[in-house]
Amino acid sequence: MEKKFRSVNLPVFVIAVSELILLNLAFRLAYYKHISHNLVISDYYFTLLGVFNLAWIVVAFVNKIDKIERFADDSYILFNLVKSFFIHAFFILAYIVSFQVFDYSRLFLIYTYTFAFVLTIGFRFTFLYIIKNFGNLGLKSKKVIIIGANESGLALHNYFNTYKYFGYKFMGFFDDPIGNERIEDAMIKGGIKDIKDYCVKEGIDEVYFTLPLHENKLLIQDLHKFTDDECIYFKMVPEFKLVGHKELNFIFYDSIPVMTIRRDPLGYTFNKIIKRAFDIAFSVFVISCIFPFIFPIIAIAIKLESRGPVFFKQLRPGKRNQLFECYKFRTMKVNKSTELQATKNDSRITKTGAFLRKTSLDELPQFFNVLMGDMSVVGPRPNMVNQLKTYSKLIDKYTVRHFVTPGITGYAQVNGFRGETKELELMEKRVEYDVKYIENWSLLLDIKIIFQTVFNIFKGEENAY
């Protein structure tokens, strides 16, 4: 079940971070030229710089900077930049008027936007030249296959060839019989029956289905389940105009409509960056401000009650089923049955351990897992390896939980589904809430779950043992 970790989209990250740096550089250059020959900014203008940064982050989100393919078009680069600066200037004007801070120099603002525009457009065209001439910046390309050797499949193949420097590696078509004479025999890797074996053997990342949807319902269901189990993204390209459906989501590759089965907010690189930045900031706060005070007390209590290490580590399946060492404070006597789930009145649990579990303090060391990138602050809780093997066969969509990084707390836990799962229905409800979280992620939802977790700790939870 173990899969290799796939990197985030580095080109998008480079664009987002670099342009924010350039905006700050432009601000400081304008300050140096017009306000004071000093790169150290006064407190008054430093507040404005903070607003500049926040407004630019919002602009990047509005303009969907994660749609990296658009940056292959020279005219789009210019249009996008002009639009971005107009939106940004509107936000700055709204701030100045709302807070009545009219003392900022108008000429300073003109200098800032002039420098920022020149620096940013120079960066974007330079970046475009680099990725077009030096490939996908050394990243592992996404291996893709197309099911359906037809006109839609051929158009999609041409798209992957056109934008291959953005990380697409086309592996071949699958169809029977062949539907288009313009597709060379060498590009056909097999029939429908060969798809699953080929995906597993070649480590395929994305599967695109271009056959008529209304004629292949059972095949779509079968492939959808297979790709979920193997953590492969399954996307459909309709050959007809489809009336909108609440469970279907459209993405456009140029003029080619691509349809996905479920919403995937964390599939967008901008959202990944926001979530990761929040994880790092929050975990650094906990580790630096809370952990140093609590750790000595917990460590002494654990050592006084029972022999063994202070920390307990166990292999858990994470994102895409990749195993990682999950850290906790030890809450049980040293035993050889650590793969067995804790139960109510479990004799293995120490008195100190019972308190730590009740208050969730046993999970504090997992903030180090967050810093290392194995976990997130919020996400589906990482189950044990034997649970993955068991429940992936019994519960539909169980492995969908592993499309994202597991969390210290999660949507299922704050809704009462934590602790022992005596019955299959309890795990099914936990999976249901985990999938809802994945499909409806937002930073505000993460913050809400964190507050709910803290509230539940003080309130006490019946299933926390």
- Could you read off the pLDDT of 14-67 as tens digits, one per residue? 777 888 999 999 999 999 988 888 777 888 899 999 999 998 888 876 665 545
Please tell me which residue, 292 or 61, carries the higher pLDDT value: 292
Q: In terms of domains, do 169 and 221 share one? A: yes
Q: Is residue 2 part of a domain?
A: no
What per-residue confidence (pLDDT) applies to 7?
37
Structure tokens of 119?
Answer: 């620096």
What per-residue confidence (pLDDT) applies to 98?
82
Q: In terms of domains, do 329 and 446 share one? A: yes
Q: What is the pTM of this model?
A: 0.60
What per-residue confidence (pLDDT) applies to 134?
63
Residue 6: name the closest of 99, 139, 102 by CA.
139
Residues above pLDDT 90, as percent of the chain: 38
What is the pLDDT averaged over residues 330-335? 87
Q: In terms of domains, do 344 and 256 share one? A: no
What is the pLDDT averaged over residues 176-204? 85
- For residues 71 and 128, is the Cβ–Cβ distance under 8 A? yes
Residue 165: name the closest of 199, 194, 141 by CA.
141
76, 105, 134 — which closes off a domain? 134
CATH number of the domain at 185, please. 3.40.50.720
Q: In terms of domains, do 376 and 444 share one? A: yes
Question: What domain range is 383 assigned to?
Answer: 274-459
Cis peptide before 257 (omega within 30 of 0): no
- For residues 268 and 404, is the Cβ–Cβ distance under 8 A? no
Q: In terms of domains, do 227 and 372 share one? A: no
261, 294, 322 — which closes off a domain? 261
Q: Is residue 63 part of a domain?
A: yes
Q: Is residue 55 part of a domain?
A: yes
Category of 135 on φ-ψ map: left (φ > 0), alpha (ψ -120 to 50) or beta: left
Q: Is residue 266 part of a domain?
A: no
Please tell me which residue, 130 or 241, carries the higher pLDDT value: 130
pLDDT digits (tens, 9 = 90+) for 350-397: 999 889 988 889 999 999 999 999 999 999 999 888 888 888 888 888
In residues, how long is the chain?
465
- For residues 29 and 155, is the Cβ–Cβ distance under 8 A? no
Residue 111 CB partners (closer than 8 Å, separation 6+): 29, 30, 33, 34
> pLDDT confidence of 128, banded at 50, 70, 90?
confident
What per-residue confidence (pLDDT) applies to 25?
94
Q: In terms of domains, do 315 and 182 share one? A: no
Please tell me which residue, 263 or 279, carries the higher pLDDT value: 279
12-16, 114-118, 296-300, 313-317: lowest mean pLDDT where?
12-16
214, 237, 261 — which closes off a domain? 261
Q: How far apart are CA 277 and CA 434, in angstroms?
A: 22
What is the pLDDT averaged over residues 105-121? 93
Please tell me which residue, 445 or 127, carries the higher pLDDT value: 445
Q: In terms of domains, do 350 and 402 share one? A: yes
pLDDT digits (tens, 9 = 90+) for 199-227: 999 999 999 999 988 788 899 999 999 99
What per-residue confidence (pLDDT) applies to 235?
92
Q: In terms of domains, do 284 and 423 share one? A: yes
Q: In terms of domains, do 302 and 425 share one? A: yes
Q: In terms of domains, do 115 and 208 share one? A: no
What per-residue confidence (pLDDT) applies to 295?
93
Q: How many domains does the chain have?
A: 3
38-42, 71-75, 338-342, 360-364: lowest mean pLDDT where?
71-75
Please tell me which residue, 414 or 80, carries the higher pLDDT value: 414
Q: In terms of domains, do 447 and 318 share one? A: yes
Q: Is residue 235 part of a domain?
A: yes
Q: In terms of domains, do 122 and 251 share one? A: no
pLDDT digits (tens, 9 = 90+) for 380-439: 999 888 888 888 888 888 889 999 999 999 999 998 887 666 788 889 999 999 999 999
What per-residue confidence (pLDDT) applies to 239?
62
Q: Is residue 412 part of a domain?
A: yes
Q: Is residue 3 part of a domain?
A: no
What per-residue confidence (pLDDT) applies to 245?
47
Please tell me which residue, 355 or 75, carries the higher pLDDT value: 355
pLDDT digits (tens, 9 = 90+) for 441-459: 988 889 989 989 988 887 7
Q: Is residue 326 part of a domain?
A: yes
Q: How far apart are CA 313 and CA 324, in angstroms?
A: 10
